[in-house]
Amino acid sequence: MQSCDALIIGGGPAGSTCAGALTRHGLDVLVLDQKTFPRDKVCAGWITPGVLESLQIDAADYAAGRVLQPITGFRTGMIAGNEVETRYQRNVGYGIRRCEFDHYLLQRSGARLRLGEPLRSLARRGDGWMVNGDIETPLLIGAGGHFCPVARFLGAQSRMTESVVAAKEVEFAMDAAQAQQCGVQPETPELFFCKDLKGYGWCVRKSGYLNIGVGRKDSHRLSEHLDAFCEFLRHRGKIPAGIPDRFHGHAYLLHGHGVRRFFDDGVLLIGDAAGLAYAESGEGIRPAVESALLAAATLVEAAGDYRQQRLAPYQRHLQARLGPASSEKSRLPAGLRRYIGGKVLSSAWFTRHVVLDRWFLHARQGALRAS
């Protein structure tokens, strides 16, 4: 039998950040993940600088032996429409590789790890939990991503009632010839919206790697949208010949697009398990990290009393940080939406101040710091 002060299911950015914060406050934390690390995660691997700041990562230290691609601009528009290049005089983001980033965060969390083991069983025992038949803990944290079993235990019905983002991507190391053929600049990722504005495609070059993908709020005909985007990139000389043909798919929930219960007696959810990705951009790493820090602060404040009324501040802090749920549906007819979309996405002003600064970079919101 093994016991711990807190058991975290999932060692992605949410789980490792929460583990690190609780460990720093003296709790004995165990992280359980079904995968062994380093492991890959379907993701474009683009983060805003606030993520490094919240995690107190020294960029130079991280970059030693890992990919940390500075981003200083974007090329954006509608697929097969006009394009706009926006430049900044500073780093507005970084390209990372999830196999490296997640491993780095988990290793430095200081938590005990049980890797390569899924959550198989979960039962309430008195005021605590019994997990997999041999782990006892008073506190369970669900950080297992969109399909987190702890979220399911709290009633989430991922496959039935939730309207998710469906996405496909591929990341691969370019050989020398491919690197020469690739027309994407490493410091200027390309983001192009689908004509119906229900999603966008990206092409992010990070050092010698290229990441291509499409994410949409409507999973219908995702592969066709992906093919159209790749053809558009090819036509513009952006992607080299011989890219892998096997793209990986995944789904996740945007903040406000689902109704997950975040907490109950002795348990709470963080990151994708809680469904927190930004609605406009689909960025999920920053909300994963921030929710983990807010959860840790609530748990430390609760000082061992994890009844649900003591965990309720977590939900209030999350709402204050992420803003009101935004499950708005456009009332404009599809044709008019396309027309207006095409116009505004050709505007350099709208692209910089609304699409990038507001929707993608959250430029007015400073980084959340650990308490």
Ligand X SMILES: Cc1cc2nc3c(=O)[nH]c(=O)nc-3n(C[C@H](O)[C@H](O)[C@H](O)COP(=O)(O)OP(=O)(O)OC[C@H]3O[C@@H](n4cnc5c(N)ncnc54)[C@H](O)[C@@H]3O)c2cc1C
Name the site residues for ligand X (rule: CB under 6 A).
9-15, 32-35, 41-47, 118-119, 143-145, 148-149, 167, 169, 213, 215, 250, 252, 271-273, 277, 282-286, 288
Q: Could you tell me the smallest distance in angstroms from the CB atom of residue 4 to ligand X?
A: 15
- CB nearer to ligand X: give 37 or 306: 37
- DSSP class per residue in 213-237: EEEES--TTHHHHHHHHHHHHHHTT
Q: Could you tell me the smallest distance in angstroms from the CB atom of residue 141 to ligand X?
A: 11
- CB nearer to ligand X: give 11 or 20: 11
Cβ neighbours for 320, distance < 8 A, ≥ 6 positions apart: none
Cis bond leading into 38, ω under 30°?
yes
Residue 246 token pair: 């096997």
- CB nearer to ligand X: give 232 or 247: 247
Q: Could you tell me the smallest distance in angstroms from the CB atom of residue 256 to ligand X?
A: 15
Q: Could you tell me the smallest distance in angstroms from the CB atom of residue 368 to ligand X?
A: 14
Query: Is residue 167 within 8 Å of 213, Cβ to Cβ?
Result: yes
How many whole angstroms separate alpha carbon 41 and alpha carbon 35?
11
Residue 89 token pair: 């005089």
Cβ neighbours for 194, distance < 8 A, ≥ 6 positions apart: 78, 79, 200, 201, 214, 216, 225, 229
Cβ neighbours for 210, distance < 8 A, ≥ 6 positions apart: 171, 172, 174, 178, 182, 184, 203, 204, 239, 240, 243
Q: Could you tell me the smallest distance in angstroms from the CB atom of residue 273 to ligand X?
A: 6
How many whole angstroms separate alpha carbon 137 and alpha carbon 30?
9
- DSSP class per residue in 76-99: EEETTS-EEEEE-SS--EEE--HH
How many whole angstroms separate alpha carbon 252 and alpha carbon 275?
7
By beta carbon distance, the residue nearest ligand X is 284
- CB nearer to ligand X: give 217 or 286: 286
- CB nearer to ligand X: give 189 or 266: 189
Instruction: Name residue, tokens 């691969």.
Output: 172
Closest CA to 202 of 224, 219, 225: 225
Q: Could you tell me the smallest distance in angstroms from the CB atom of residue 86 to ligand X?
A: 18
Helix 13-24 / helix 285-302 crossing angle, nearest 10 deg:
30
Distances (CA, A) of 18 to 21, 238, 252, 253, 317: 5, 39, 20, 20, 15
Q: What is the dihedral of CA 129, 130, 132, 133, to 10 degrees?
A: 180
Q: Could you tell me the smallest distance in angstroms from the CB atom of residue 365 to ligand X?
A: 14
Q: Could you tell me the smallest distance in angstroms from the CB atom of residue 32 to ligand X?
A: 5
- CB nearer to ligand X: give 202 or 306: 202
- CB nearer to ligand X: give 145 or 341: 145
- CB nearer to ligand X: give 41 or 195: 41
Q: Could you tell me the smallest distance in angstroms from the CB atom of residue 106 to ligand X?
A: 9
- CB nearer to ligand X: give 143 or 295: 143
